[in-house]
C-alpha cells in the first residue's frame, strides 16, 4: 500500500508529463491554493469587463483590452493545478474533474479560446463585436462551474 504522500508525488510526476513542472515536496494544499489564486486573478480582471458591458462603468477600450489579454494569458494556467489527489482543504473542485478528465481539459481549452477571442474582439472597440465574445467567455466559465465546481 503506497502512502498518500507517495501517491501524490507519483501523481505529480505524471502531471509533470501531462502539463508542467511541480517541484517535489509541493503540498496538495499548495496546489489547491495555486489553482484558486489563478481563478481569483482571472475573476478580478473579468469584473471591470462585466461592469463596462453592463454600463456600470464607462467603457475604456484600452482598459478593456488590457484585462481581456490578461484573462487570455491566465486561462492556460489553472489546468496544471488540477493534479490528482489534490481534493483537499477548502477546494471547491468536484471529483468528477478527474473522472471526466478529457471533458474537463476540453472545457479549460474552451476558456482559453473564448478569452483569446474576447481580447481580439476588444480591438474593434465596438460593443456589437465585443458583447458576443464577452458572453462566450462568461459561458465558458459557467459551463465548467456547472459540472465541476461546488457552489
Decide: is 64 part of the binding site for ligand ASC (CB under 6 A). no
Query: Are 82 and 93 spatial neighbours (Cβ–Cβ below 8 Å)?
Result: yes
Among 51-59, 70-78, 79-87, 136-144, the segment contacting ligand ASC (CB under 6 A) = 136-144
**DSSP-based helix, strand, coil % in the chain, nearest 5:** 70, 0, 30
Residue 35 exposure: Cα atoms within 13 Å on the Cβ side:
23
Q: Which helix (H) or strand (E) holds 71?
A: helix 61-74
Decide: is 142 part of the binding site for ligand ASC (CB under 6 A). yes
State the binding string over 109-128 for ligand ASC (x if CB under 6 A, else -). Answer: --------------------
Q: How many CB atoms lie within 10 A of CB 118?
A: 27
Cβ 13 to ligand ASC shortest distance, Å: 31
Integer Cα distance of 97 and 123 in angstroms:
34
Decide: is 134 part of the binding site for ligand ASC (CB under 6 A). no
Question: Of 1-30, which residues contact ligand ASC (CB under 6 A)?
Answer: none
Q: At a CB cut-off of 8 Å and minimum separation 6, what does 116 contact?
A: 72, 75
State the binding string over 27-46 for ligand ASC (x if CB under 6 A, else -). Answer: ----------------x--x
> Cell numbers of 7, please?
501517491
Cβ 149 to ligand ASC shortest distance, Å: 8
With CB under 6 A as the contact rule, the residue among 38, 41, 50, 53 that binds ligand ASC is 50
Decide: is 131 part of the binding site for ligand ASC (CB under 6 A). no
Decide: is 141 part of the binding site for ligand ASC (CB under 6 A). yes
Q: At a CB cut-off of 8 Å and minimum separation 6, what does 49 contact?
A: 64, 67, 68, 118, 134
Residues that bind ligand ASC (CB under 6 A): 43, 46, 50, 138, 141-142
Amino acid at each position: 500500500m503506497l502512502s498518500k504522500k507517495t501517491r501524490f508525488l507519483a501523481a505529480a510526476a505524471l502531471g509533470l508529463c501531462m502539463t508542467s513542472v511541480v517541484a517535489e515536496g509541493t503540498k496538495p494544499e499548495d496546489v489547491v491554493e495555486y489553482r484558486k489564486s489563478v481563478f481569483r486573478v482571472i475573476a478580478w480582471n473579468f469584473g471591470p469587463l462585466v461592469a463596462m458591458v453592463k454600463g456600470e462603468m464607462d467603457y475604456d477600450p484600452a482598459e478593456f483590452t488590457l484585462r481581456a489579454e490578461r484573462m487570455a494569458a491566465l486561462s492556460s494556467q489553472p489546468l496544471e493545478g488540477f493534479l490528482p489527489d489534490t481534493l483537499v482543504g477548502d477546494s471547491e473542485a468536484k471529483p468528477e474533474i478527474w473522472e471526466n478528465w478529457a471533458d474537463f481539459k476540453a472545457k479549460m481549452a474552451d476558456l482559453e479560446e473564448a478569452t483569446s477571442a474576447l481580447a481580439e474582439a476588444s480591438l474593434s472597440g465596438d460593443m456589437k463585436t465585443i458583447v458576443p465574445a464577452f458572453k462566450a467567455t462568461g459561458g465558458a466559465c459557467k459551463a465548467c462551474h456547472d459540472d465541476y465546481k461546488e457552489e
